[in-house]
């Protein structure tokens, strides 16, 4: 029978250092505030005849569908959306994507982890959680996030895409599904290899400007873009980055506690010990994050140089703590 997801919800007291003072502007609704502003700034509301009250209703419902877990909560959704917004302005790609692709990318970023339970795919799979059964162990969380995002659109008062044609909606939906599913870490190696092959081929063609014709080439760059935005914590200044790590570790350690209580092997990153924290972070940065950002940096050179410097400094900070 199904093993219940151990409650990681509101009743778990947030350790003091995780308590954040609410921003006087965005107050309780950082995700709605940031996303609405970005839609305005990119003129998406006018371009796609989005009814403002529907956009607010959708964003309120989306924000409330993010679980109150230490890391994968509405702040992470807001953060990845804002990071996507900035990355889309990188010199190397600024004029590459059209407004439909930008709408899809911003939307995919803000919905990409909605209803995340604070547990990993391997945990949901080994505990035979309903979601793992429903999605046959395949990108379980990511399938759930994008399904919830589109489920919320079904209410007419929340359907922000009601003025798109059926064909436009079909393509938007495909792009959003493709991007959110690409945030599954299990797909990282293939995604990055394909991205590197594409850039190599483009470099061979000599033209210094990235020209992308096919849907597959264009969506490949967008998949890597949302993956970068999702793994952008360590490209931020240390005082911000360290706050994200603290949240992530609390979430990982809670899963470790649940694994122990269920008599399961404790996932390496979920072992409650500050020393392994740095070891795992360095391992994750070296194996996944740095190669990805190096590749991104080569695409938007020299736009990402500051990012790469910050990434190196944050890695040194971890190494100094070993």
Ligand X SMILES: CC(=O)CCCOc1nc(Oc2ccc3c(c2)CO[B-]3(O)O)c(Cl)cc1C#N
Q: Is the peptide bond before 50 cis (omega within 30 degrees of 0)?
A: no
Residue from 53, 72, 188, 227 carrying the catalytic annotation: 72
What distance in Å separates the CA atoms of residue 32 and residue 61, rounded to the nearest whole number?
9
Known active-site residue 72: yes
For residues 143 and 135, the answer to whether their CB atoms sit within 8 Å is yes
Fill in the per-residue mask, 250 to 289: x = in contact with ligand X (CB under 6 A), - = not in contact: -------------------x----------xx--x-----
Q: What is the DSSP string of 166-198?
A: HHHHHHHHHHHHHHHHTT-GGGHHHHHHHHHHH
Within 59-118, the residues that bind Mg ion by CB under 5 A are 113
Q: Of 185-214, which residues contact ligand X (CB under 6 A)?
A: 185
Contact call for residue 146 and ligand X (CB under 6 A): no
Nearer to Mg ion, 229 or 282 (CB): 229
Contact 213/285 with Cβ under 8 angstroms?
Answer: no
228/299 with CB nearer ligand X: 228
Q: Which does 125 bind (CB under 5 to 8 A by kind): ligand X, Zn ion, Mg ion, none?
A: none
Q: Measured at CB, which residue is nearest to ligand X? A: 284
Indicate whether 113 belongs to the interface with Zn ion (CB under 5 A): yes
Exposure string over 122-151, b if 16+ CB within 10 A, otherwise e? bbbbbbebebbeebeeebbbbbbbbbbbee
Phi, psi of 155 (to 5 degrees): -75, 130
Distances (CA, A) of 146 to 2, 34, 245, 299: 23, 20, 25, 28
Work out what residue 100 binds among Mg ion, ligand X, Zn ion, none; the CB cut-off runs from 5 to 8 Å by kind.
none
Summarize as ranges the residues that interact with Zn ion (CB under 5 A). Answer: 113, 230
Residues in contact with ligand X by CB under 6 A are: 72, 113, 183, 185, 230-231, 233-234, 244-245, 248, 269, 280-281, 284
Residues forming the active site: 72
């Amino acid at each position: 029978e199904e093993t219940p997801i151990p409650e990681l919800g509101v009743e778990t007291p947030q350790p003091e250092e995780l308590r954040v003072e609410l921003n006087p502007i965005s107050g309780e609704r950082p995700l709605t505030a940031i996303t609405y502003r970005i839609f305005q700034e990119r003129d998406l509301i006018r371009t796609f005849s989005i009814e403002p009250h529907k956009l607010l209703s959708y964003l309120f419902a989306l924000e409330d569908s993010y679980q109150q877990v230490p890391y994968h909560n509405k702040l992470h959704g807001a953060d990845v959306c804002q990071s996507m917004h900035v990355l889309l302005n990188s010199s190397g790609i600024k004029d590459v994507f059209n407004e439909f692709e930008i709408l899809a990318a911003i939307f995919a970023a803000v919905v990409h982890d909605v209803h995340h339970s604070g547990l990993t795919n391997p945990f949901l799979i080994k505990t035979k959680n309903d979601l793992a059964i429903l999605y046959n162990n395949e990108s379980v969380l990511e399938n759930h996030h994008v399904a919830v995002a589109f489920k919320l659109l079904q209410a007419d008062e929340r359907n922000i895409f009601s003025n798109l044609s059926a064909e436009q909606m079909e393509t938007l939906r495909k792009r959003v599904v493709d991007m959110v599913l690409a945030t599954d870490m299990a797909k990282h190696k293939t995604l990055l290899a394909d991205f590197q092959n594409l850039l190599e081929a483009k470099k061979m063609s000599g033209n210094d400007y990235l020209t992308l014709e096919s849907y597959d080439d264009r969506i490949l760059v967008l998949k890597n873009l949302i993956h970068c935005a999702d793994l952008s914590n360590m490209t931020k200044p240390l005082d911000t980055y360290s706050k994200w790590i603290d949240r992530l570790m609390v979430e990982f350690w809670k899963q470790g506690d649940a694994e122990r209580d269920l008599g399961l092997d404790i996932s390496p990153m979920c072992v409650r010990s500050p020393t392994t924290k740095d070891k795992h972070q360095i391992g994750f940065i070296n194996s996944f994050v740095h190669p990805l950002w190096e590749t991104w940096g080569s695409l938007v050179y020299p736009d990402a140089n500051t990012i790469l410097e910050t990434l190196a400094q944050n890695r040194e900070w971890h190494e100094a703590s070993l």
